Chain A
Amino acid sequence: MNSIIFLVLRRMRVPLILLILCYAIAMIGLTLMPGIDDQGHPWHLSISQAFYVISYTATTIGFGEIPHPFSTPQRLWMLFSIYLTVIAWFYAVGKIITLVQEPTLKRAITEQRFSRQIKHLKEPFFMLCGYGETGSNLLEALDRMDLRAVVIDINEARLNNLQISNFHYDIPTLCGDAGLPKVLETAGINSRYCKGVFALADDDHANLAVAVALSLLNPKLPLLCRAEQETMAENMAGMGATAVINPYRSFGELLGIAIRSIHHYNLEDWLTGVPGQNHLTIEPPPRGRWIVCGYGRFGKAVVANLRQEGIEATVIEADPTLTGCTDCIVGTGSEAGTLIEAGISDAVGIVAGTNDDHMNLGVAMTARKLNPNIFVVTRKNHHFNAPLFEHFRADLTMQTSRIISHECLGHLVWPLLTTFLALMKRKPSDWVEQLYRDAIHHIGQWSPETWEITIGQEHTPAISETLDLGQDVPLAALLRDPSDPEQGLRCIPLLHVRADRKRTDLRPDLMLEEGDCLLFCGRDSAQRQQMQALWNTNTLDYLLTGEIRPNGLLWRWFTQRSSN
C-alpha cells in the first residue's frame, strides 16, 4: 500500500501546488476588491469568507454572492477567479485520471493485491509458474480437488484468460518472470503453506531459472519441472528438482504401454483423469507394422518405444535433414501418395504426431480413407482443437498437456497413487484387466476421486480411539455405508502401506494399525460417507458391531444395569 500512496503523492505534486497557488491568488484578490452593501456602506470580504466563496466557485457548485451582492470590481475578480480555479481543478482531476490509468500504477496495485491475497491464504497451496495448456489443465484438476493454487506467468493475456475461466476458487495471479527471486518471494515460496512448485513454461530456460532460484531460496520445497531437452532435464535434476517431466518421452512411453498392454493404459488413464471427466475405454492396438508421421522429438520417442516392443515402424517426415532421420519417406503424410508409398494398405496402425493439429487430423483422415481398419493414434497439441478431435474419433488421442498435468499431480499431490501406478506397471496384464473391469463396474465410467488416509489421531480419531481400546478394526468397516451397512460404498482400496511394506491385493478382513496408509479411489459421495466412520466413534462402532450404542453417560449406565 505504501508504495502506491507515495507514487500517487509524487505525481500529484505539480497539480496540488498549482491548485494551492490559484486558490491563494483568487482569495487574496477577492478580499482586496471593494464592495458596497445594501445600506451603502463599503465592505470587504474577509479571508474566511473569500475561502468559502472560492471553494464553491472552483468546484463549480456556485451558491451565489454571499454575504451581500457583489460590486463590479468584485464581480470582475470573480470572473477571473472562476476561470483560474476551475481550470486548475480540471488539470488536477485530469492528472488523477491519467495516473489511475497509468500502467506503472496499475501494476503496483495488482501486485499489492496479489501479495495481500497470498498473505491471507491460510491453506496449503501450490505454485504454478507458466500458465499454458498444461498449466490450465493442472489448475482445473487442482481446483476440482479443492486444492488452492497461485499462478505466475509472464504473459498478461494468458492471465486475463484465467480470470474469465470458471474456477471454484479465486486464484491469485501475478504477471512477472518466475525466474526472478522477488517474483517468487511475492508469490509465497517462503510461506509455510506453500506445498510445492510446478515449473511448466514451454521454455526450458525459464523452467531452469525457476529451478535455480528455488534451489537457492528454498531448497526444501518440492519442485516439478517440465523439460523438453535432455541436457536441460539433467541440469534441473542437478538443481534439486523433485521430478523432471519430459512430455515427449512420457508420451512415447505411454504409447508403448498402450501397445504392450492396453489394460495398463486404460486403468492409468481412468485413475489419473480429472475427477468426474468421462473416460473412454480404449480397445487394444493391433501388433504389426506401424506408420509414424513426423520425426520430431515426439516422433523419435514414439518410434523408440515401438521398436522396444518389437514393432516395425515406417517413418514419414517432411524435413529429414533437420530432424536427422536417415531411413524415412519424405512427405507430410496428409497426401495419399506418401501414405501409399509408406505401405498404408498393410499397416495396422498410424501415429499422426506432428506439432500441427490440422496436419495431424489431415493425416488421420487420409489414412482412414485408404485403410478403413487402421488403428489411428493422434497427437492433440492444443486444447481448443478438442472438438475437432472428438468429431474425428481417433482410436487413441494423446494430449501433451494432459500427460504432464497427470504426472505433476501424481508426484506432488498423490504420492501414494504414483507408488500404486509404479507397482501396477509390474503386474501381469490379466490382473490389471480384472481390477479395471471391477472398478468400472463398481464405480463407473467417469474418472474417480482418489484419496489417501493415514491412520492416526490427527486424521482418523475414531479409528485410533477404537484401536486404543484394544478392538480390531478391519478394512471392511471403511467400505460399508454408515446409513445402510448392507450396502457397500462405491469405492475401492488400491494400496496399503505399513512401514515399508506395500500391498495391492487388499482383502476386507485386513486389520488396520496405527500409522497405516491407505489409497482409495471412488465417487466423492463415498469419500464423504467414509469420512463419518473415520471421525465419529459411534458411527464406527455401529459399522463394527451392527448395533447402536447409547451415547450419553446416563444411558450407558442404564443399559449396563439392565443387561446385568
Chain B
Amino acid sequence: MNTEKVVFGFFIVLAMTLNFGFFIGEYNNPLHHPVYELFAAIVVNLIATVLKFGDRTQIGAIHLSTSLVADLQLITAAIVWSAVTDMGEVPTSDLVSLGSVVSLSGGAFLANVTSVVVLIVETVMTRR
C-alpha cells in the first residue's frame, strides 16, 4: 500500500463528496445549501489540484484539468454568493442567484465525478 496513493485518492473522493453534499437539495432553499460546505469543498478541491501538479503523463494532465474546471466553477459560485449576500452580511434572499450558485456547484460536481472515474480507470488499468 502506498501512502501517497491513499492521500491522493482521499482528497479526490472527498472533493467529490463535499461538492455533492452542497449541491444536493432543492435548488431554491438556502437551508439545503450550507455555505460552510461550499467552503470545505473549495479548500479540498484546491488541495486536490495541488496534489495533481507535476505529473507529466496523459492521465495526469486529465486529472489536473478536471480539477481546474471544478476549482473554476466552485470559486465562481463563491464569488456569486459573496456578491449576493453582501459579503455574508445579509441572509440569502435572492433565490435566482442562489440557483446560479447551486448550478455552478453542480457543474463542478460533474468535473469531480470525471476525476474520480479517471482515478478508478487508472487503478484498474495498472492492476497492482
Contact = CB atoms under 8 A, between A and B. Distances in A.
Interface of A: 6-7, 9-13, 16-17, 20-21, 23-24, 27-28, 45-49, 52, 67
A429 B90 CA distance: 105
The 5 closest A-B pairs by CB, nearest first: A46-B88, A10-B54, A9-B53, A48-B82, A24-B43
B35 interface: yes
12 contacts: A9-B53, A9-B54, A13-B54, A20-B50, A21-B47, A46-B87, A47-B36, A47-B39, A47-B78, A48-B81, A48-B82, A48-B87
Interface of B: 35-36, 39, 43, 46-47, 50-51, 53-54, 56, 78, 81-82, 85, 87-89
A240 to B, nearest CB: 37
A48 B54 contact: no
A12 B47 CA distance: 12
B85 A13 contact: no
Nearest to A15: B50
Contacts of A27: 39
A6 B51 CA distance: 12
Q: Is the interface of A mostly helix, strand, loop or mixed?
A: helix
Nearest to A23: B43
Contact of A52 (B51, B54, B87): B87
A46 B50 contact: no
Looking at A17, A23, A67, the one whose CB has the most chain B CB atoms below 10 A away is A17
Given A16-B50, A17-B50, A46-B89, 17 more contacts: A10-B53, A10-B54, A11-B54, A12-B53, A13-B50, A13-B51, A17-B47, A20-B46, A20-B50, A24-B39, A45-B88, A46-B88, A47-B36, A47-B39, A47-B78, A48-B87, A49-B87
A49 B50 contact: no
Contact of B88 (A11, A20, A23, A47): A47
A64 to B, nearest CB: 16
Nearest to B83: A48
Contacts of B53: 6, 9-10, 12-13, 16
A445 to B, nearest CB: 61
A84 B83 CA distance: 28
A519 B88 CA distance: 85
Contact of A49 (B46, B78, B88): B88
A518 to B, nearest CB: 56
Contacts of B35: 46-47
Contacts of B36: 28, 47
A52 B82 CA distance: 11
Interface centre among B43, B47, B53, B89 (most CB of A within 10 A): B53
A334 to B, nearest CB: 62
A290 B54 CA distance: 70
Contacts of B87: 46, 48-49, 52
Contacts of B50: 12-13, 16-17, 20
B37 to A, nearest CB: 11
B54 A20 contact: no
A187 to B, nearest CB: 24
A261 B50 CA distance: 76
Contacts of A10: 53-54
A20 B47 contact: yes
Contacts of A52: 87
Nearest to B45: A20
B27 to A, nearest CB: 21
Contacts of A48: 78, 81-82, 85, 87-88
Given A46-B88, A46-B89, A6 B39 contact: no
A71 B15 CA distance: 34
A347 to B, nearest CB: 71
A168 to B, nearest CB: 40
Contacts of B43: 20-21, 23-24
A508 B79 CA distance: 85
Nearest to B39: A47
Contacts of B54: 6-7, 9-11, 13
A21 B48 CA distance: 12
A312 to B, nearest CB: 71
A11 B78 CA distance: 29
Contacts of B51: 13, 17
Contacts of B39: 24, 27-28, 47
Contacts of A11: 54
A7 to B, nearest CB: 8
A365 to B, nearest CB: 64
Nearest to B90: A46
A10 B54 CA distance: 4
A117 to B, nearest CB: 24
Contacts of B81: 48
Contacts of B46: 20
Nearest to A47: B39
A35 to B, nearest CB: 13
A13 B51 CA distance: 6
A67 B87 CA distance: 10
Contacts of B89: 46, 67
A7 B56 CA distance: 10
A49 B85 CA distance: 11
Contacts of A21: 43, 47
Contacts of B88: 45-49
Contacts of A17: 47, 50-51
Contacts of B47: 17, 20-21
B26 to A, nearest CB: 22
B90 to A, nearest CB: 10
A47 B35 CA distance: 8
Contacts of B82: 46, 48
Most chain B C-beta atoms within 10 Å of own C-beta, residue among A10, A13, A47: A47
A10 B50 CA distance: 9
A519 B56 CA distance: 55
B88 to A, nearest CB: 2
Residue among A24, A48, A49 with max Cβ neighbours from chain B (10 Å): A48
Contacts of A12: 50, 53
Contacts of A9: 53-54
Contacts of A47: 35-36, 39, 78, 88
Contacts of A23: 43
A10 B56 CA distance: 10
